Structure 1
Amino acid sequence: MKDSNGIVGNVFQIQRWSVHDGDGVRSTVFLKGCPLRCKWCANPESWKPHPEIFYFRDRCTDCAQCSLVCNHQAISKDEGVPHYFDREKCCCCGDCCEACPNGAKKKIGSLMRVEEVIKILKRDSIFYRESNGGVTFSGGEPFAQTEFLRELVLACKNFAIDTAIETSGYFEWEEAEDIIKELDTVFIDIKHMDERIHKRLTGVSNRKILENVLRISQNHHDVIIRVPLIRGVNDDRNNIEQMCQFLQENTRILGVELLPYHSLGHSKMDALDREGLEIFNTPDAEQVEHIKKIIAKYKIQNIDFK
């Protein structure tokens, strides 16, 4: 996306002091927009490419301060409920969020220029250097904002900042190849090896993802597979062994990182007035250790960032 002053992107969070998204102390830049609709998604606020408003009903005291500042008639009491929020009329200006004294509303997503993001990231550059850390781009799907991502990665490189990316793998290779070559580390998900199950759970086929896993591992020396581990969904021996066979026979990856399921996305879906997530269960510690042994049997390293 461009405006009169250059390329801008939609950022919904910059998380400082992250220690689970690569080596060392890192800042994680979350970009909006994602082509997948995973039934367990932890960041459903990342799905749409434009800004949105969280509305936490349990924090609302019906003080009406938000309705006083809304110039688009998106907030009213005309529908027989104490506080009616019409998202179709909302322009996501964020005025209601600033007016709310209880934090019941929060704007998700802001248009930022590359220079603005880099200015924030450079604040922690000394910690990146001392801990062998850096910046990780996440989402959503970072490659959904290819132009913006490219400029961010190149800017980080100019300041000698280590860069990593967390990707679903669902992107067009031709649009991302040059960016991938500039990155220091690539984290890419494999959610399920069965195409039919993958499509039911995420909304898309896994074919493009597996093809991109192959391409990335052939063009990059530092690739880590991430598995969002869900009990009864993808933690069975057959699925894990299929994945390991695929990786062992076709790729050159550093290893696999297991990410046990959590349900943090449900409260966010409620705050976005959406449905679509399912209730899943987290594998217990014994099952996780069992899966790690299967992976190790294939001479694949188990990676755990702490």
Structure 2
Amino acid sequence: MKDSDQIAGSVFQIQRWSVHDGDGIRSTVFLKGCPLRCKWCANPESWNINPEILYFRDRCTGCAQCSLACNHQAIPMDGGIPLSFAREKCCCCGDCCEVCPNGAKKMIGSLMTVEEVIKILKRDSIFYRESKGGVTFSGGEPFAQSEFLRELILACKRLAIDTAVETSGYFEWKDAEDSIKELDTVFIDIKHMDEEVHKRLTGVSNRKILENVLRISQKHHEVIIRVPLISGVNDDRKNIEQMCQFLQENTRILGVELLPYHSLGHSKMNALDREGWESFSTPDAEKMEQVKKIIAEYSIQNIDFK
């Protein structure tokens, strides 16, 4: 039987001193792999579970160091100037990233064992204790790597570290049930109540997500709904009221946290040579207050970790 500390998974970032993903000072562990394709995604580098290379063309000065370092003809040259980045030939060895002097190429994702992740998290354990913080697992969709996530949670619990997960809710219940029982807090997204709109914006139905919201709220007392709020998309009274009615009648949650839309993922989509991004708008302060009032009308708490 494999030692649980040696179970490995794909990680693309461990963000220390995070204060927006739960109480206190936290570390947020971002896992790769996600079944959704949200058109506003802040972390499109999380979609593919495998390592990838971000290529920021505006940072490239044409020094050709990357092309000289590549042994797979993925960066052809013409007259000493790199022509393009042929992803179909790239093996993601990372050699081009190491020699780039301007950060135009960046490797995203690496295979890490539970032991390696915990070693990093333990560095800040004193801050978790003093601030009543802990560790939040995010992504991507953390439950896309259910075995790895479960072992990370259990390893944290053995060290008395508070644990939370930030999930899209799109997962098979059998893969997540054991982990959810061990977590201290569950953040779960509701992006839109209309199934067809949800499909168009994320690529998947919201049925499984809403079913998992119900299951989690029945099993867990520390559940927070997160709403990525987008102007003209899901901030209208009808959608917010439908969500609040669903939550009020079927769940027992701590409250709702509104996350105003931002466009930080756009540059990363370009750097990954991906299509599908759509430009949206951030709700203004007046709209944010209107939505908060609707939520309060249903006696649901507005939560803010800022």
Place the TM-score, normalised by the shorter chain, in its bin.
Answer: over 0.9
Alignment of 1:206-221 (within 5 A): 206-221=206-221
Output the CA distance in 2 between the equivalents of 1:204 and 1:79.
46
Calculate the TM-score normalised by the size of structure 2.
0.97
Kept after mapping to 1: 8 A contact 2:11/2:110: yes
Shift of 1:275: 1.1
Query: How many angstroms apart in 1 are the aligned matches of 2:62 and 2:53?
Result: 17
- In the other structure, the counterpart of 1:32 is 32
Correspondences of 1:141-290 after superposition (within 5 Å): 141-290=141-290
CA distance in 1, matches of 2:20, 2:232: 25
Q: Following TM superposition, by how much is the alpha carbon of 1:265 offset from its aligned partner in structure 2, in angstroms?
A: 0.7
After TM superposition, give the deviation of residue 77 of structure 1 in Å. Answer: 1.8
Runs of 4 or more consecutive aligned structure 1 residues displaced over 4 Å after TM superposition: 78-81
Residue 43 of structure 1 corresponds to which residue in structure 2? 43
Structure 1 residue 83: deviation in Å?
2.9
Match of 1:116? 116
- Paired with 2:290 and 2:80, the residues of 1 have a C-alpha distance of 54
Residue in 2 that maps onto 1:138: 138
Question: Residues 150-170 of structure 1, C-alpha deviation per residue, up to 9 Å, x if partnerless?
Answer: 110000001110000000000
Q: Could you report, residue by residue, the CA deviation over 1:49-95 in whole angstroms, capped at 9, with x for unpaired residues?
A: 10000111111111111111111111112599743111011111111
SS of 1:213's equivalent?
Answer: helix
Aligned residue pairs total 305
Letter in structure 1 aligned against 2:199: K
The code of the aligned residue for 2:14 comes to I
Partner of 1:75: 75
CA distance in 2, matches of 1:79, 1:42: 37
**What letter is aligned with 1:264?**
L
Which consecutive residues of structure 1, in runs of 5 or more, have no partner in the other structure?
A: none
- RMSD over aligned Cα atoms: 1.6
What amino acid does structure 2 have at the position aligned with 1:266? Answer: H
SS at match of 2:136: strand
Report what 2:305 is aligned to: 305
In the alignment, is the contact (CA less than 8 A) between 1:78 and 1:84 conserved in 2? Answer: no
Residue in 2 that maps onto 1:18: 18
The answer for unaligned runs of 5 or more in structure 2 is none
Q: CA deviation at 1:6?
A: 3.6
Counterparts in 2 of 1:70 and 1:183: CA distance versus 1, 3 Å: same
> Helix, strand or coil: the match of 1:75?
coil
What amino acid does structure 1 have at the position aligned with 2:204?
V
Residue 37 of structure 1 contacts residue 202 of structure 1 at CA under 8 Å; is this kept in 2?
yes
Question: How many angstroms apart in 2 are the aligned matches of 1:157 and 1:250?
Answer: 30
- Indicate if the aligned counterparts of 2:75 and 2:82 stay in contact, CA closer than 8 A: no
Give the match for residue 102 of structure 1: 102
Deviations 1:250-274 (A, max 9, x none): 0000000000000011100111111
What letter is aligned with 1:285? A
Contact persistence 1:25–1:127 (CA under 8 A): yes
How far apart, CA to CA, are the structure 1 residues paired with 2:158 and 2:227? 32
Q: How many angstroms does 1:42 deviate by?
A: 0.4
What whole-Å deviation, never above 9, does each CA across 1:157-204 have from its counterpart, x for those lacking one?
011100000000000001110000000000000000000100000000
Give the residue type in structure 1 aligned to 2:239.
Answer: N
1:146/1:176 contact within 8 Å kept: yes
